[in-house]
Structure 1
Amino acid sequence: MIISIFAALFAGGAVVYSRGQKLATERAAKAAEEAVQIQRASEQRAADEVARKRIMWRLDPSQGDSYLLRNEGTHAAFDVSVDRGDLAVEDGAPVHFEEFDADHAERYLLVSTLASRTSAVTVSWREARDGERKSQKLQLD
């Protein structure tokens, strides 16, 4: 009888221990899964940041009504179009480029008149010659 009691206590202890092990294993698996998700999100953010820096447009005031359009990214942009809207322009600067290199700048004379409804320049481009078309609106300062 005493052996039966000890056997029952031992079996009960084994059941409790195994439940604890099961819960610990489930917690460890969940933590590992969350760590993988965090790692993937971090990698995606890093990839997005790299993609963002590939081509970065800036429109800087230069002299008077003159502005410099710059590609401050690390890569050239292709099939670049510059839409100046209804801003008064008399500079003859090109509005289309087959390729706009990194660290390249073009000067534009952009004058907002009383009749102008536009206060921004829209640049559209491709990251590769056959890539998807992207665009960005750059406000005049």
Structure 2
Amino acid sequence: MPYQVTVIRNDFRYEAIVPRSELAYTIIKALRDQGATLDDYQSLLEQSQLNSAHILSDAAFQQLADAHPEMTLIYEAMTLKNHQRLYFHTNWTVSNTNWQVLNSELKKYQIDVSTLTTPNQRYFVKRKIAVDS
């Protein structure tokens, strides 16, 4: 089933409908656009009781790559607004309990994620809507 990610930023509401395979990337990109730092990402993982290996610093990723080169296939890199580089696991597995906590943590960044129950909903629908003052 698809997910809807809604972000409030600069007097606009951005909405994206994405498949599960793109959910982690969409959340991480939304946080980056909100100005999150590597510490913010790691705090979000900790508060949501998620695996700390979901997001790695450049140094931690290099250690992982040296020890297990095959693991580099399931990580993607992103540069943050403050020029920090992070690596994220492309397929997050989140239990229902942790999902609720993660979603409440994301709300602090004006990001809301919901599951759409329409199985035939088209993916990659993106909208930018002005927020009325």
TM-score bin (small chain): under 0.3
Relative contact order, CA 8 A, sep 6+: which one is greater?
2
Q: What is the TM-score of this pair, normalised by structure 2?
A: 0.21
Larger radius of gyration: 1
Q: What is the TM-score of this pair, normalised by structure 1?
A: 0.20
